[in-house]
Amino acid sequence: MTFARRWRWHLLGGGIVALVATQVLLRGTSYYPESWERDAASTVNDFQSWVRDNRDTNWLLHGVLRPIGDFVRTCYEELRDVLLNLPWFFLPLLVLLVIMRSGRWVTATVVSLGLAYIEFADLHREGMETIALMAFCIAACIVIGFPLGILAGLNPKVERVLRPTLDAAQSLPITFYLVPCVLFFGIGQVPAAIATVVFGVPPMIRITALGIRQVPEASVEAGRIFGSNRWQLLWKVQAPQAMKSFVTAVNQTIMMCLGMVVIGGLVGSGGLGSEQISTLKLRSPGRSFLVGLAIFAVAMAFDRTTRSLTDREKVWRFPARTYWMGASAVLFGGWLIARLADAKRVPWTFDNDIVEPVDDFIKWVRDQFGDQLQWLNDFIVRDVVIRLRELLGISLAWPVLIGAVVLVALLLRGWWFALFTAGGLVLIGLLGMWAPALETLAQVVVAVVIAILISVPLGIFVGRRSRLEGVLEPMLDALQTFPSLVYAIPFVMLFQVGYVPGILATVLYAIPPGVRLTALAIKQVPPETLEASTTFGATPMQRLWGVHVPLAMKGIMLALNQVIMMAMSMVIVAGLFGGQGLGFKAVEALTKPDTGVGVESGLALLVMAIILDRLSQSAADLFDRDDAGR
């Protein structure tokens, strides 16, 4: 045994002894002492009051931030008005013609029908507001992120300077973007748009920089040999070869921006997000599904349209100019006919045809299986979540809980992260968020365990059957693209407000990455290793548990990491449904608004997300070390 391993075992043994002794000495000590808490919220709220009182006099608020807000509002309103004045069939026809140019007829038809669905579902105004807001945010992300990504890709020093900022931006909880935006810009579309841009820019910068760096050095050297200057090298050599990365960056930014649609509804962004939030008051799963499908259609339209601009099958033999001139003529002719016939709105809608059957089905399930649902609700709440919360908050003394987490951090990532973990956990207590954090942790643990128990076996099963993966892929795409509220509202109807709707919605939202990463890990096991085990007489079960799963364990642990992070991203949604904890505090901060509580809950969520992310990543890295040791 090496010295490093002996040191780890000695540290683990000594740490466990110290924690047990501390628990015996502090028996009866429960939650973090209230006398230690510091009222940071009052300080932040005092600053909020100062901002409100000095909006018209302070040079930064009046001379810098207000013009930015006015510019965002003007751009959004102008774009929204243009879209609202178009005939109902104009956008579906436009998207159809754009995607058809790439030769993908089926994709063009499906996406076009999705946009037409928004009209037939009587969501014209809400859909156009969302498309206008998202179009502005995506354009802003491209304008900001594309140059910075190219600069970071070309200059390693710039990349090193940007990396900490991008890491922090992608670790922050969603509400952490909205709270300061509401503070400086009030409520409405402006704070939602600015928060969405800040949320969507980091992947644009990262993936663009990665694409530039991955251009083969031989291509760059060839460009230099032929006398290209720096700009010619960038636009004629590096940019064309990095085009797929640029498209991936745009697509990822689109998904990030659309992920803010529903949360933006909490601050009055309007559109489909606000309509989705309103379904909470109506308790209508049918209405939620109707609106969620419209958001899914918008996501598909942005995603597939941007992909079609570069991913071409080139089945059209006549020149691009001829095609676009013909497409423009069709669009103009359609617009002119609709204007002359005064046919801006769709003549017939079917919203109630979808809403009522879904609502009736959920009510039927509740009436038929009410006793079983009540038993399941009581079991999850009373026997799982509350007991886990009491174990963490009452049975274990708070110094013991902190010490245990710090010990794990020390063993997995070393002294620096252990110090960060200790400081972060103490900070949660000082902010007065210890009890809500344990409430959130209990719910996240339960959701993650359920999601892993479903996704890992399913991923192993799918990874060994490629045909089944092709069947499940569209279902997994839909689960990740649908707004999370779509999953939760039916559970509210079945179980009422409380822990269970948020937990079950989190499970559904977290399953797709767990299945995908597990299946990928299974597929990446070397075939020759499997053949060798078969040659030595291993049965299918022995080959699965003795070869397949052990060699795929690093990928399975990465699946666990992603399931945890997806569960953390659903904390806010759980708070909307009475899940309590930090999610409820964050929602409360946005709806009051109470900036101080928003900052406190956001910091606590940030610390929890970083600790859980880094520890689960380090657990996955352990399997790399084991493989190296073997």
The DSSP letter of residue 32 is P
Which residue in the block uniquely carries the two structure tokens 């399931």? 563
Taking only the tens place, the pLDDT of each residue in 567-606 is 887 887 777 777 778 888 887 777 776 777 888 888 888 8
User: What single-letter amino acid sits at 77?
Assistant: E
Mean pLDDT of the chain: 79
Domain boundaries, the chain: 369-396+433-630
Q: How many CB atoms lie within 10 A of CB 2?
A: 8
CB contact at 8 A, 116 and 89: yes
CA distance 398 to 396: 6
> What pLDDT does residue 459 have?
85
What is the mean pLDDT of each successive set of 10 residues along the chain, which is 630 residues long? Answer: 60 76 72 74 79 78 84 90 87 87 82 89 87 90 88 82 74 72 80 85 84 76 71 73 77 77 74 79 77 84 79 59 79 78 71 75 83 86 86 82 87 86 89 87 90 89 75 72 70 79 86 84 75 70 74 80 82 75 80 77 85 82 56
**Angstrom distance (rounded) from CA 415 to CA 407:** 10
Contact 203, 249 (CB under 8 A): yes
Task: Give 128-171 pLDDT, tens digit per residue.
Answer: 888 998 889 889 988 998 888 888 888 888 888 887 777 767 66
Q: In angstroms, rounded to a whole number, what is the distance separating the alpha carbons of residues 335 and 91? A: 11
pLDDT at residue 538, rounded to an integer: 67
**What is the C-alpha separation between 257 and 2, in angstroms, rounded?**
49
Query: At the topology level of CATH, where does 369-396+433-630 sit?
Result: MetI-like fold (1.10.3720)
Supply the pLDDT for residue 449: 92
- The pLDDT score that the predictor gives to residue 630 is 47
CA 98/CA 113 separation, integer angstroms: 14
| Closest listed residue to residue 118, CA positions, set 141, 140, 86 | 86
The pLDDT of residue 29:
65
Under 8 Å between Cβ of 502 and 443: yes
pLDDT at 450: 92
